Structure 1
């Protein structure tokens, strides 16, 4: 049982809604009409609901989360990002962050729909409490860190607009630097905490499956590198006053490392996790 065999229509509908939300947020960025922002938010919420319904149905049929190949991995990543965006939008009311979240979710879903499915081998070992906990925590944490990157990009754009002699396009369309910085910081704290818990559950799962907590698998090494990058960012904020532009740049660098760990390691290096991108 794969994403190809259970209601494909739900995933197509979710993809269409995420894409429409992207258009809505782009129009909101240019025209600043509050109605467009509400419509775009409603569209991404509807997309999340259809996406979650399809994922739940697949999970029930498979007896575990669908995470066996690249198609399923992209779907779970998109679901986590849309869900995390909705949570953080409620907390901070940072409306314009959708201009980063919606297109990223839509692109992942478009890639997921376009990719061919792969049969799940019988007796798959990708089951159990520790595995499910690992997946939920890791993907939720990565989603929060992706949004931190989005807030960091918006921070740099707004700072450049403020410093410019002629305050142009972004100055009137983006929120204050303080709001962008605090949002990014909260996203990093949330993502780092979840990432840490996810790595711990992953170690426990590795012990159960491969007989060792740590096997020097490339994914394990780069996951540790990613963790250290964000640990350095938080340490810098707490002890050295890394705020504003420096923190924003670090969130972008951290997300680049995160993307390489998520996909690049599997494609270019291999290891235990390579099967998730086949």
Structure 2
């Protein structure tokens, strides 16, 4: 049953890529429409003798296509989230615990958090261009998850606490998902001056605000994650903190987002400086996730 369920992850990769393609097509469609409107205004300004006949059907068709693409882009993301939720549910029913015990399971859960938070911010702020940065990250993580060992193994003694396992990692995946969204907003902010002006990009101040709001979600969840991890470490290993590589990486991540919020509120940091801090923050998130491959430690199983 588990081998069959893994096809759901493959289907999720396809669905995420389809959502990304719809987003790209939507951006291209909006750009072409802007170009056509510019040319139409130019013709009108030439004079009455050069006035081009209006084609209402063609003009009405462009917004209709954009609306359809927008619907499909969101629909594919929802489908991806449903597929991944189904896979996680099946895996939980087989293993008897949350899908957080190895790299494959956490990579899948990481993507689940990214899709959930991205959908929330997309619907809340109507910024579909975020997906052009966020969805490639999700797709790469899913491909990575498929390349890992997907077998079910008994939990090591340190993980045999279903409540703390679920809470600690559950807060982590939502925090990481929000961090990815803030990263997406920061990247669009930094690229804004060099991207074509006719793309349907939000204003830079809007992207700045979205990045900040996503970081506001990230920081408290990281705090809860670290506190729960410390409690769990004391239960499993007899100490609250041991400067294990993954613990240290998590602390660095927490400090970066804490510093971002501090300078944002106290010194009103905005613009490129703030955007670069969010990019660095997500790099530390990825390091916290992948770093144990290189440094080992007590978290080398995850």
Q: What TM-score does the superposition give when structure 1 sets the normalisation length?
A: 0.90
Tell me, yes or no, if structure 1 residue 190 matches structure 2 residue 217: yes
Displacement of 1:122 after TM fit?
5.5
Q: Where do 5+ consecutive residues of structure 2 fail to align?
A: 31-65
Q: Are the counterparts in 2 of residues 10 and 54 from structure 1 also a CA contact under 8 Å?
A: yes
Size of the alignment, in residue pairs?
A: 266
Q: Which of 163, 169, 184 is the aligned partner of 1:150?
A: 184
| Aligned match of 1:165 | none
Listed one character per residue, the Cα deviations across residues 104-147 of structure 1 (whole Å, up to 9, x for unaligned) are 21221122223332441266543321221111101110110111
- Which residue in the other structure is 2:174 paired with? 140
Report what 1:113 is aligned to: 146
**Aligned mate of 2:266, from 214, 231, 239:** 239
Match of 1:275, SS? Answer: coil
Give the deviation of 1:29 after TM superposition: 2.2
CA change 1:243–1:144 in 2 (3 A) is same
Q: What are the within-5 Å matches in structure 2 for residues 138-217 of structure 1? A: 138-158=172-192, 160-161=193-194, 169-170=196-197, 172-217=199-244
Cα separation, partners in 2 of 1:146 and 1:97, compared to 1, 3 Å: same
Deviation, 1:50, is 1.1
- Residues 208-241 of structure 1: per-residue CA shift (max 9 Å, x gap): 1111111221111111111111111111011111
How many angstroms apart in 2 are the aligned matches of 1:169 and 1:34?
21
- C-alpha displacement of 1:90: 2.0
Cα pair 1:22 1:106 within 8 Å, conserved: no
Partner of 2:55: none
Q: Which residue of structure 2 aligns with residue 222 of structure 1?
A: 249
Corresponding position of 2:21: 23
State the Cα distance separating 1:69 from its structure 2 match: 2.2
1:51 equivalent among 63, 66, 84? 84
Q: What secondary structure, in the 3-state scheme, does the structure 1 residue paired with 2:154 have? A: coil
Q: Distance in 1 between matches of 2:155 and 2:97?
A: 13
1:170 and 1:73 mapped to 2: Cα distance?
38
1:45-87 Cα shifts (integer Å, max 9, x gaps): 1010011011012112212112222221211111111111111
State the Cα deviation string for residues 153-174 of structure 1 (Å, max 9, x = none). Answer: 111112x24xxxxxx6145421
Measured in 1, the distance between the counterparts of 2:73 and 2:237 equals: 45
Q: How far 1:148 sits from its partner (Å)?
A: 0.3
Give me the whole-angstrom Cα distance separating, in 1, the residues matched to 2:285 and 2:5. 31
1:93 maps to what in 2? 126
Q: State which of 96, 116, 136 in structure 2 corresponds to 1:83.
A: 116
Distance 1:79 1:106 in 2: 11
2-structure distance, mates of 1:170, 1:184: 21
1:70 aligns with 2:97: no
Instruction: Tell me the TM-score normalised to structure 2 length.
Output: 0.83
> What is the Cα deviation at residue 6 of structure 1?
5.7
Once residues 47 and 181 of structure 1 are traced to their aligned partners in structure 2, the CA distance between those partners, rounded to angstroms, is 27
Aligned-partner Cα distance in 1 for 2:155–2:246? 24
1:243 is displaced (CA, Å) by 0.9
With 102-111 and 242-251 compared, the bigger mean Cα shift is at 102-111
**Consecutive unaligned residues in structure 1, runs of 5 or more:** 162-167
Write out the 4+ residue segments of structure 1 that deviate beyond 3 Å after TM superposition. 3-6, 122-125
Partners of 1:171 and 1:192 in 2: how far apart?
34
Residue 270 (structure 1) aligns with? 296
